[in-house]
Structure formats: structure tokens, C-alpha cells
Copies of this chain bind each other. A is one copy, B any other.
Amino acid sequence: MRISTKFSDSIHLLSFISIFKTEKLTSEFIASSIKTSPVVVRRMIGELRLAGLISPYQGGKSPQLSRPPVDISLFDVYSAVEHKKPLFNIDKDTNPHCPVGAHVPDVLRSIYSEAEAAAFGQLGRTTLQDVIDRIQVAHQRYGEGTAEA
């Protein structure tokens, strides 16, 4: 399959609207930073609004976070756009009459969930504010770009 960058792009989007909250944020403008199309941006905003991370539409206003970036973890973002999609996939269609095939899916389920808990725990401990801070530190050290293309 084509690998999904939705999670990364969503973090990008949320950071962007937080950092540029004083500007007029059109989907076109946001799309220029992510290098994607405005429609894709609107689609992502729709999902994030549905998940409660972006405030419901309020008459022509720019999209804005529904709560401060310190209160949004990357696990919240992952859950919002990937719907808690497992990190590792289990082949559930195995031979139930074989002692190995019959039990592998369940065994993997429990083992994978331990590994996933470790990763998701780490994501849960990282907030959008951390991302924004790191972006701004990097910008002050190396960057001199503007918001424009």
C-alpha cells in the first residue's frame, strides 16, 4: 500500500494554525505549507473537528484549536485521524485446526498490544506544544523563511 502521511500532516496542520492564529487561515494558505491541495486540508480539518480538536465552524472565522496545545497530545491526534489503527497488523485468517495457527492471532494480539502501549504512551506524553516549541527553536537557529511560498 501507499504509506499514509495523514498523521504527520495533521500535526503539521495543527501546529500551523496555532502558530499563525493571528493570520487569515484559508485552506489554500495552510496547504501551501504542507504542499498539498486545499481539498485535502479541508478534509483533514473536518476529521479533526469531528474528533473535537478543532472548534466547530463559527461563521467565516479561521479554524482554531478547541483547547490549548499543552492539552493536546500526539496520541489524541493519532486517535483522531487514524482511529487507533494498530501499529502492527495481525493475519487473522489462519488454520484453526493447527495448534500453532489456532493460537497465533491471540498470542500476537497480546504481544503487539504491549509494544503499542509503549509507543502510544510516549505519544501521549508528547504534546502539540512540544512540537511547536521545537519548531520555533529550530526556526530561530536555522530558519529565515516566511509563511509565504
Residues of A with Cβ closer than 8 Å to B?
A: 1-5, 7-9, 11-12, 15-16, 19-20, 32-35, 74, 87-91, 93-104, 106-108, 110-111, 114-116, 118-123, 126, 130-131, 134-136, 138-139, 142-143, 145-149
Which one of B19, B122, B130, B146 contacts A97 once the chains associate, using CB atoms below 8 Å? Answer: B146
- Copies of this chain, how many? 2
Give the Cβ gap from A4 to chain B, nearest Cβ, in Å.
6
30 A/B residue pairs, CB under 8 Å, sorted by A: A1-B4, A5-B89, A8-B89, A8-B91, A8-B104, A11-B104, A12-B101, A12-B104, A15-B104, A19-B100, A32-B98, A33-B94, A33-B95, A33-B101, A35-B95, A74-B115, A95-B145, A97-B145, A97-B149, A99-B136, A99-B147, A100-B147, A102-B138, A102-B139, A103-B135, A103-B139, A104-B135, A108-B131, A115-B119, A118-B121
A9/B131 in contact, CB under 8 A: no
Closest to A145 in B: B97
Task: Report if A15-B100 is in contact (Cβ < 8 Å); known contacts: A5-B89, A91-B5.
Answer: yes
Specify which chain B residues have a CB less than 8 angstroms from the CB of A146 in the assembled complex: 97-99
